[in-house]
Amino acid sequence: MTLLQTSAATVPDQLEDPACPICQSERRALPFRLSETYCVARCLECEVHYLYPRLVESAMQLVYREPSYYQGGESGYADTSYIGQEPALRATFKRFVRNLAKRGLCGGDLLEVGCGYGYLLDEARSFFRHRAGTEFSPQGGEIARGTGAEVWVGGVEQLPADGSFDCVIATQVIEHVYDPLPFLRRLFSHTKSGGHIILATPDIGGALRKFMGRSWPSFKVPEHVVYFDFSSLAALMQQAGLREVRRLPYPHAFPLRLIAAKFGLTLPSSLGGLNVWVPATTVAAYGKVFHD
């Protein structure tokens, strides 16, 4: 049992029954039962999917601050450590930043929200004048500072009031956010007029989720509390005030050992570190900020 599962399963009074985190509707269907405790609900008003019930936010944030969250194995992050995924993550972020550059989204000041160990910030070194990030984990924030980026420990509320950026990126973050619209509006306020916000998140409308059903790896409980496809992600971004919202390609690499672990397989060490590009895992979009 992982740290995350223990936190939710053994402390039932830390669970809550949320309304839709986007439109606050209480009308829902329950298309996916993930365990005896958790379901994924679909809002009957805005059609966003969300975890139901969910761990209260204060308890979830304590989990994120634990060093074990990124360490993997029996006590933390997925089926392998975050450091163990470094080559695949760097390959993913390298392609991601190049895709940004092709669309004229690089240059100036970059903010990455939820920067982890700073792998994306490091890969973006030659594409931006200044790089900054936020990270809940003190350990992760310290490692990320090693890339030469400025990093604040905590959420976006830790940003200086006058902090303003040309490009704000949140990859694999919005699915963790309990109140996505206020969160995105806060990012909007820290983005320069004419700048861009880029979001990437597991794609609940993608072919991989449809193929795997409730076994989809991105149904991660209790940390993933809301799920998007391109339509619902674009609608959220437009509701927050972003304009010219467009889809962004997001090829994603994974270590072969991680993929094998999802199917209960063990690989020789010589093969486990190979990177495999898995299609249809992530939806990404970018939108432009204008301050009227």
When comparing pLDDT for 30 and 212, which is higher? Answer: 30
Distance, CA of 103 to chain centre: 22
Residue 38 CA to residue 106 CA, distance in Å, equals: 40
Domain architecture of the chain: domains with CATH: 84-288 (3.40.50.150)
pLDDT in tens, 59-86: 998 888 887 777 654 333 344 577 778 9
Residue 171 CA to residue 178 CA, distance in Å, equals: 16
Q: Coil, strand, or helix at residue 129?
A: coil
Residue 216 CA to residue 239 CA, distance in Å, equals: 28
Q: φ and ψ at 135, to 5 degrees?
A: -160, 130
Mean pLDDT of the chain: 89
Between the two ends of the chain, the Cα-to-Cα distance in Å is 50
pLDDT in tens, 147-189: 999 999 999 999 998 889 999 999 999 999 999 999 999 999 9
* Strand pairing class (109-113; 54-55): unpaired
* Strand pairing class (282-288; 39-43): unpaired
Specify the pTM.
0.89
Cis preceding linkage at 180, omega within 30: no
**Confidence band for 209, pLDDT divided at 50, 70 and 90:** very high
